[in-house]
């Protein structure tokens, strides 16, 4: 959340893709976690086309995409994600 707030004005965006199969559970999780960015779900679990496209077989799973949609990093969290964002966008 902190990194999203810090970098969203510099072209950084988050899109959460859920692998839930229950719409109510998915919507409640968004509210509980306080996600203010784009949230999508096919409600097909691991068999959804987005999970298949990115070979998502476990959660959490994250991908850092460039402006053209090319994957430039995978599964960065915490300090590693922050370091990568600093290298791409500066302080």
- What is the rounded CA–CA span in Å between residue 91 and residue 7? 9
The per-residue pLDDT for range 34-82, each reduced to its tens digit, is: 999 999 999 999 999 988 988 888 888 888 888 888 888 999 888 999 9
8-state DSSP, 69: S
SS3 (DSSP) at 75? coil
The answer to whether residue 30 scores a pLDDT higher than 90 is: yes
Cβ neighbour number for residue 41 with a 10 Å cutoff: 20
Please check the confidence at residue 1 and state whether its pLDDT lies above 90.
no
Enter the pTM of the model. 0.77
Structure tokens, 25:
């559970």
What span, in angstroms and rounded, lies between the C-alpha atoms of 68 and 71?
9
Q: Identify the structural domains of the chain with CATH numbers, from first to last.
A: 2-89 (3.40.30.10)
């Amino acid at each position: 959340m902190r990194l999203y707030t810090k970098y969203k004005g510099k072209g950084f965006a988050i899109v959460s893709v859920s692998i839930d199969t229950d719409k109510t559970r998915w919507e409640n999780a968004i509210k509980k976690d306080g996600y203010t960015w784009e949230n999508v779900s096919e409600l097909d679990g691991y068999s959804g086309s987005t999970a298949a496209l990115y070979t998502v077989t476990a959660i959490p799973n994250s991908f850092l995409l460039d402006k053209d949609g090319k994957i430039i990093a995978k599964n960065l969290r915490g300090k590693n994600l922050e370091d990568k964002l600093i290298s791409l966008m500066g302080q």
